[in-house]
């Protein structure tokens, strides 16, 4: 593709909501494929821009800072009949570099597995203080013992032993 066509393509994608990642600088295109139409984070490094204020998609924040992924968590699905917390889908926990706001995001179908796995390792390395702080905001960071559940969500049940 020549440069002119390239620019045209970028313009088209920009109209659909494409953006340049605030962290790694990659162009993030938005396609109409399931799971990416509402993409708000970069599939390569999982960063996003701080645009939402109260809830995902409200676009009410004026911060605009870069939100870096810091850990993984499970979506809370209430308690099972034994009173144990149910683990829902895997979510990305991000923190705004500018204002420190923490938010959780769904993982998209085309997010890089590598990036998610390195985030898994990051989660285990978060300081105790941070984990406590997040827990007080009702965000429970995954632990070493959650590895199996993380892998099942990433690769399905038919995976070989880890
Ligand atoms: Zn990125
Ligand atoms: Zn912010």
State the distance from the centre of ligand 2 to the C-alpha of 86, rounded, in angstroms: 30
Average pLDDT, the chain: 87
Instruction: Please report the pLDDT score of residue 36 as a whole number.
Output: 53
Q: How far is the CA of 127 from the centre of ligand 1 (A)?
A: 24
Query: Token pair of 84, please?
Result: 């144990």
Ligand 1 center from residue 15 Cα (angstroms): 19
- In the prediction, which pLDDT does 145 show? 94
**Of 97 and 160, the one with more pLDDT:** 97
* 152 Cα–ligand 1 center, Å: 25
Tell me the average pLDDT across 28-48: 77
Count of other CB atoms within 10 angstroms of residue 26: 14
In this prediction the pTM is 0.82
Other C-beta atoms closer than 10 Å to the C-beta of 38 total 12
Greater model confidence, 99 or 54: 99
**Span from the CA of 107 to the centroid of ligand 1 (angstroms):** 14
Neighbours of 41 (CB within 10 A): 24
Indicate the SS3 state at residue 14.
helix
**Structural domain boundaries in the chain:** 3-155
């Amino acid at each position: 593709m020549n440069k002119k066509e390239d620019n045209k393509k970028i313009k088209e994608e920009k109209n659909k909501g494409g953006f340049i990642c605030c962290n790694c600088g990659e162009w993030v295109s938005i396609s109409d494929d399931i799971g990416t139409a509402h993409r708000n984070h970069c599939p390569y490094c999982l960063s996003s821009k701080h645009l939402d204020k109260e809830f995902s998609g409200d676009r009410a924040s004026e911060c605009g800072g870069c939100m870096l992924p810091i850990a993984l968590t499970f979506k809370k699905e209430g308690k099972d009949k034994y009173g144990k917390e149910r683990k829902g889908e895997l979510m990305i926990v991000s923190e705004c570099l500018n204002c420190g706001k923490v938010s959780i995001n769904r993982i998209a179908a085309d997010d890089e597995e590598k990036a998610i796995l390195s985030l898994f390792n990051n989660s285990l390395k978060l300081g105790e203080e941070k984990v406590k702080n997040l827990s007080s905001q009702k965000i429970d960071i995954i632990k070493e013992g959650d590895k199996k559940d993380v892998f099942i969500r990433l690769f399905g049940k038919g995976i070989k032993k880890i």
